[in-house]
Amino acid sequence: MTLTTGATMALQSYKHDRSLHRIWEEVTVLEDNDHAIIVANKRTKVIESNGRFWYTKEPSVAYFYKHHWFNVIGIIKPTGISFYCNLSSPILVDEEALKYIDYDLDIKVMPDFGYSILDQNEYRRHQKQMRYPKELCDILESELKYLREQIDTHADPFHHEIIIEKYRAYEKIGEK
C-alpha cells in the first residue's frame, strides 16, 4: 500500500504483547519511499492506553523505517532541533493506521548531537515480562548500535536542515 503525499492517517504504537500503547490521532504523509514513510504533525492529539490524552507541544517530522527497527522524530523547538529515537519494529501500514511495536529503548538527541539512551530498565523489565526472543534482542542491540553510528556521523535524517525542509513541505500542504 503506497501512501499519497498529503494524506492524513492515525499512528498507532503497540507493545510486544500486542497491547495498544499510544495513538496519535493524525499525522500527515510527506513521503513514502522504499526505505521509510516520512510524516509531520503539529499540536496533534495523543491518546495513551489508559484513555488519557495530551497534545504534542512542538512541530515534528518523523521517519518510520520499513527495514530498520527504529523510528526517528525530529522535534522543532525554539532552542533548536532535537531528535527522539524509538527502538521499534519496522512500520506497518493498513487501512486503519500506520503501526509499529515500541520496544522501550529510546535515544534523546540534543540540538548539539549529544545524546542519552533512555528507558533501559523498562526494556529489561519488558524483555522478561513479555519474553522477548533472543533473536529479537540481538536485532534490537544491533539496531541500537547502528542508530548510534547514524547519530555520531549526522547521517540522514540527523541534519537540522533536512528536518526544516521537510517541515516547510508540511506547511505548504496545509496551505492548499
Q: What residues are labeled active site?
A: 22
> What sign results for the dihedral spanned by CA atoms 168, 6, 63, 119?
positive
CA–CA gap between residue 30 and residue 47 (Å, rounded)? 23
Three-class DSSP category at 118:
strand
Per DSSP, the residues of 43-78 read S-EEEETTS-EEE-SS-EEEEEESSSSEEEEEEEET
Distance, CA of 45 to CA of 52 (rounded, Å) = 10
